[in-house]
């Protein structure tokens, strides 16, 4: 008999990939989703695992709901992927973000502590916790400096996991994951926003798109590979925290340029700051315009991870790097919109 795993955030990008990965390993996978009037299981459907996951209505805002779920389904491993995960929204909904992304973790840990402190617990921490970075590249030892309500909430989730490990001997691991993307990424995140818009422009369904800060740099990896590290952490003899990254940083501008390159267009940039426009080198038509509405009250300029610990201790390494990732995403959006 395989082990039982419970995943919160099953309807999200990582939830779908992790479910697929664990099913392939022989796990019985329970997936928690919050009640909505129109459920969104498209990611599980796209990966062909919708029928293989047992879906449970579970909200991480409700502790009793979590306790009853753990008691009834007896998971041996719990992956807490649920969050209000979008930085931009966190500035407008800081309290809700705190309830879900910060206190939600304590609710999960309390349920583990009450029902079975032997449950292995994974917390989805984030490179956003490094924010205004104190050193480059960032490791497990780099001091944190969150720059958004989302990052501050994740930092709380990170430390409460460490605290339950030290106070109650709970096998809790925090994966400090750098940005990871895929064709299943939410459309509001910059990579998928670009791949979708470029595909639309290719088919003549759209003329241009609007963007915020193009000089921000991220260490972007492939989500399908990053969820493997989440599982690996829980298979170690002792619970610890790990940075998961690719060790390469690229700008939003590079992401845009490479996406257009894939459909045979070269971008020429003119103007500065909010006036900047990217045009088609052949036709002169504007394809990208800056709109300050996408600027953030406080920006994270550069994230770059050092994944040495994950490589040496978990044997984990990224295989897909920047250019291939851009191509995987744009190709899928071109197929979708055909």
Binding site for ligand GDP (CB under 6 A): 87-88, 128, 179, 188-191, 193, 211-213, 216, 218, 252, 294, 296, 299-300
225 binding ligand NDP? (CB under 6 A): no
CA 275 – CA 144 distance, rounded (Å): 33
Is residue 85 close enough to count as binding ligand NDP by CB under 6 A? Answer: yes
| Cβ proximity of 166 and 240 under 8 Å | no
Task: Convert 62-88 to b/e letters by CB count within 10 Å (16 or more is b).
Answer: ebebbbebbeeeebbbbbbbbbbbbbb
Dihedral (Cα; 26, 43, 303, 276), 10-degree rounding: 160
**Partner that binds at residue 186, options ligand GDP, ligand NDP, none, CB closer than 5 to 8 Å by kind:** ligand NDP
Residue 182 interacts with ligand NDP (CB under 6 A)? Answer: no
- Please report how close the Cβ of residue 53 comes to ligand GDP at its closest, in angstroms: 26
Give the nearer residue to ligand GDP in terms of CB position, either 74 or 296. Answer: 296
- Find the helix or strand (DSSP H, E) in which 211 lies: strand 209-211
Find the shortest distance in angstroms from Cβ 254 to ligand GDP.
12
The entry of ligand NDP, ligand GDP, none that residue 54 binds, CB within 5 to 8 Å by partner kind? none
| Alpha-carbon dihedral 39, 90, 230, 317, rounded to 10 degrees | 120
Per CB under 6 A, 267 contacts ligand NDP: no
> Could you give the CA distance from residue 281 to residue 206 in angstroms, rounded to a whole number?
18
Nearer to ligand GDP, 131 or 239 (CB): 131
Residues forming the site for ligand NDP (CB under 6 A): 8-9, 11-15, 32, 34, 36, 40, 59-61, 81-85, 100, 124, 126, 177, 179-180, 186
């Amino acid at each position: 008999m395989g082990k039982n795993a419970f995943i919160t955030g099953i309807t999200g990008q990582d939830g779908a990939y992790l479910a697929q990965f664990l099913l392939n390993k022989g796990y019985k996978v329970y997936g928690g989703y919050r009640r909505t009037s129109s459920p969104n299981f498209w990611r599980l459907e796209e990966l062909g695992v919708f029928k293989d996951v047992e879906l449970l209505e579970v909200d991480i805002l409700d502790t009793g709901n979590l306790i009853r779920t753990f008691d009834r389904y007896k998971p041996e491993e719990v992956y807490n992927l649920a969050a209000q995960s979008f930085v931009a929204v966190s500035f407008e909904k800081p309290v809700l973000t705190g309830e879900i992304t910060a206190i939600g973790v304590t609710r999960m840990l309390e349920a583990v502590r009450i029902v079975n402190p032997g449950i292995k617990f994974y917390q989805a921490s984030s490179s956003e916790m490094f924010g205004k970075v104190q050193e480059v590249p960032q490791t497990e030892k780099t001091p944190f400096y969150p720059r958004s309500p989302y990052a501050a909430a994740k930092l709380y989730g990170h430390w409460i996991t460490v605290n339950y490990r030290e106070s109650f001997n709970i096998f809790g691991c925090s994966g400090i994951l750098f940005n990871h993307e895929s064709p299943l990424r939410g459309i509001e995140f910059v990579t998928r926003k670009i791949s979708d818009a470029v595909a639309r422009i290719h088919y003549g369904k759209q003329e241009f798109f609007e963007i915020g800060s193009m000089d921000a740099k991220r260490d972007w990896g492939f989500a399908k590979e990053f969820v493997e590290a989440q599982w690996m952490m829980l298979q170690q003899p002792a619970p610890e925290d790990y940075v998961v990254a690719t060790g390469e940083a690229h700008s939003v501008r590079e992401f845009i340029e490479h996406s257009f390159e894939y459909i045979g267009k070269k971008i020429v940039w003119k103007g500065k700051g909010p006036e900047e426009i990217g045009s088609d080198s052949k036709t002169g038509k504007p394809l990208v315009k800056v709109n300050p509405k996408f600027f953030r009250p406080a920006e994270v300029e550069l994230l770059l991870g050092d994944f040495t610990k994950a490589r040496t201790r978990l044997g984990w390494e990224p295989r897909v790097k920047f250019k291939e990732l851009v191509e995987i995403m744009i190709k899928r959006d071109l197929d979708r919109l055909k």
